Amino acid sequence: MPQRTLCAALLGCVSLLHAVNGDYLDELKEKVPYYRTMTGRVVPIEGDALDLPFKDNFADFVFSRGSIPFWPDQVQGLKECYRILKPGGVAYVGGGFGRLLDPEIRAKLVRDHQNWKKKPDGWQDLDDLDKKAEQAGLPRFRFLTEPDVGWWLEIRK
């Protein structure tokens, strides 16, 4: 089954959420609190991270946490993030455990992560993400990292 992405569009912002099957997307649409509380302001749109269903220069802000390892072509996905950004817009593509996660839970996840003998599929390709950003032709990008919290590729247009 092809991998799909759920995009949430809000006031020129796009959030990319990864899903492999339609059941998960339906459940996500029902359970994610901001879909329920922002009716009429947030519109879930199903699409493909490699061919985002938005016009060029659509979004002021693009956010994707934890989906890039699952993109079959990370270079193309980065190109798409850049394509839909408005001039002056910014995208954050990244991963990690987040600052808001309970510190004890985060510490356990970090320990578990350090004990991986082999990174899960998709994650091993992130070591050369700077090269992929260059291959995507991104003129302005940088890495932001916080130990034990996460990392972000910041893309500016």
Task: Give the N- to C-terminal CA distance of the chain in Å, as an integer.
Answer: 34
**How do the domains of the chain map onto residue ranges?**
4-156
d(CA 117, CA 113): 9
Each of the 157 residues of the chain gets a pLDDT tens digit; together they read 344 454 544 445 556 555 544 555 566 566 555 555 555 555 667 778 889 888 999 888 888 877 888 888 889 999 999 999 999 999 988 877 667 778 888 788 777 776 665 665 655 556 688 889 999 999 999 988 877 677 889 999 9
Q: Which two tokens stand for residue 97?
A: 């455990």
Fold designation for 4-156: Rossmann fold (3.40.50)
The model carries a pTM of: 0.73
